[in-house]
A and B are shown apart, each in its own frame.
Chain A
Amino acid sequence: MSQPLAQPLAEPSPASKRRARGVLGLTLAVGVGLPGALFGLIVALSPLRTIVPAGWSDGEVFLLHAVGLVVLAVVLVTFGAVISGMSVWWEMRVSSRMQSRVGYNRVGAGGFLQWIADAVKLLLKEDLVPAEADGVLFRAAPYFVIVGFALTFVVLPFGQSLIAADLDVGLFYVLSVTALVVVGILLAGWSSNSKWSLFGGMRSAAQVISYEIPAGLAAMVPVLMAGSLSMQTIIQRQGAWPWQWNALTNPFALVAFFVFFIAQLAEGNRTPFDLPEAESELVAGYLSEYSSFRFAIYFLVEWGNLWVMSAVAVTLFLGGWQVPGVGLDVYEAARGAAGSIPGLGWWGLQVLSMLVFVAKTLFLVNVIIWIRWTLPRIRVDQMMSLCWKYLVPFAFVCFVGTLFWQLLVTARPWAALATGVALTGAGLVATFFFLRLTLRNVSAVGDRVDLTNW
């Protein structure tokens, strides 16, 4: 068997080579062009509110800003959908590698266009409403879910001036609109009139409402440190370097970061907390009875939440869009006079800050995917005990601890920097040991690091 398999592959024909190049080109055009265009539009449209063209009347300026905001809203929702589809593709590729297989590779180069194919397939399916379902609620439920998801993008920052609206109550707003998703899930579970859906919806309600408490308490820690609920202010009070991030200047915030991260996983119904849609018990949980576009919406929101969760965690704990070496005054200096169209340098800084933010967010997205394919689903009682016996007490301790920590930092300002450096160093050491353990795991079975054959 191994003898014939060792023979070399036949040389591909010129026609198939041309075709492969065409597929690669199309994949790159979609994979780079689509997010590139969306990010570009976000960069171009977000600061539009601050620009008042000279000589325009108030009415014209208002119209310009209104049109800009409407277009920006469409762009942000599209961005949510696109990033969700791409996350699905990336998750499937990563998970297949973790399971020693190749995964998606038929549609487009590396199977990249699979998410588009999946979406088209779902749109072409029949839109079923079960005969015994509560039709109105059944149809309404996906709207709650998609609205709760889309509304979070209002206050998600992408860069220094790249935010749809920097609300004073930004974080509070995020926590409240994400609660709409629970309403949608509960409605879906109830109105489907199916035991699987009902169990899934009830589990989801119990889970999400329970985990709101540790998530909210942990989210209060950066609020205490920044003295503001505004997403941009929380980022501006942090520094760019790792030892200036909220999570590393305060040991309580580091614990709070993990508590918040775990609670976010549970609120997004991600493994290991995907009990509401546990395939082995509940078929697909609350969305068992859904098909077609309504099903696609649940799917979109679930994967789009990867970005939302990561972006919120980066904003609160990991320094947001702060670019190392670029202080807030640099942005001010490059901005020029208020109301004018900013110079090229300012736009460059915006793109730079967006790159930093996107890089950090994508890193956390990868961690979430990585966790999903590492940890098995936990039981319902374990899920509840984790929340109430571990996360809630820890979050309370962090909350109270941060109050005293802020007193200490006010009295001894060097304490924050010293903690930051110490925790950054500890993080680097932990990373080193982790990578060493990983390489040992690779070589323990006589294998080697090989990233070919994607």
Chain B
Amino acid sequence: MAQNVRAYAAAVGTTVRSIWHGMSVTLSYLLRRPVTIQYPDRTPLPVRDTLPSRYRGFLEVDAAICTGCQACERACPINCIAITLEKDPTNPKQRLVTQFDIDEAKCMYCGLCVEPCPTGSIQHTREFEASSADLRTLTFRWAEEPFPVYKVAKDATYYPRVPLGSILRPMLEARRWDARGPEFLPPAETPASAGPAGGGRAGASRGTGGPASSAPQQESEKKP
């Protein structure tokens, strides 16, 4: 605090000068163009298209080349992938994938499911925008229609995967933000012996008792 006249006057002077400069600085910012980009309206390209190519966004499964090996399900450290395989009722030698649910709300984007996939069917895309009113919409169902597993030819040198993102993007764009999530049946009545292992797969595994589970030809999905 000011102890003498000179300090008192200096305090007043400093106040006036600093306000003078400060007001000028804020006014100069008012006159400039904002530096922010108005996401997502005024980005010239969708932001997902500007991301690096190895960005780990939502997982995409190309059902046409999925072998149904369940390697991804086993690799997932948080059990957000749920796969159910059944025999084709019309052709007993053909196996069908009747459920392939990935709970992207639980997914931690570690990429461990991508690595063991023998055909490159499951891959990370650059999609990341799927805000919605219902958390369950983030459970992506890749086997809405049961699909036959892919048989790898002995001398195959490549797998005919569709371009990355070409399946997922139309799915996301067709979805409204307030769309209802998929309906899951309540957890199947399991004896206590199934215990936490069976019930532990919350989220996506709520679908393990899904529409197909009542089919008589269901294979045992219990893995050691």
Contacts and interface: CB of A to CB of B under 8 A. Distances in A.
B60 to A, nearest CB: 22
B20 to A, nearest CB: 7
Which of A6, A8, A453 counts the most chain B CB atoms within 10 A?
Answer: A453
A9 B42 contact: yes
B30 interface: yes
B6 to A, nearest CB: 15
Contact of A438 (B12, B27, B34, B35): B27
B38 A105 contact: yes
Nearest to A372: B26
Most buried by A among B1, B28, B43: B28
Interface stretch (B44-52, B123-131, B160-168): B44-52
A89 B27 CA distance: 18
B38 A102 contact: yes
Interface string B1-13: 1100000100110
A449 B11 CA distance: 33
B32 A100 contact: yes
Interface stretch (A90-98, A204-212, A331-339): A90-98
Contact of B28 (A4, A99, A438): A438
Nearest to A10: B44
Chain A binding surface, main DSSP class: loop
A98 B24 contact: no
Contact of A96 (B2, B34, B43, B49): B34
Contacts of A9: 42, 44
Contact of A450 (B2, B25, B32): B32
Interface in A243-292: none
Given A7-B45, A389-B2, A442-B28, A374 B36 contact: no
Query: Quick one: which of B2, B26, B45 has the most chain A CB within 10 A?
Result: B26
Contacts of A102: 34, 36, 38
11 contacts: A5-B45, A9-B44, A373-B26, A374-B23, A434-B20, A437-B20, A438-B31, A442-B31, A442-B32, A447-B32, A447-B33
Interface of A: 1, 4-9, 94, 96-102, 105, 370-371, 373-375, 385, 389-390, 434, 437-439, 441-442, 447-453
Given A100-B35, A374-B19, A389-B1, 7 more contacts: A4-B45, A101-B35, A373-B26, A390-B12, A437-B20, A449-B32, A450-B33
Closest 3 CB pairs of A and B: A441-B28, A450-B33, A374-B26
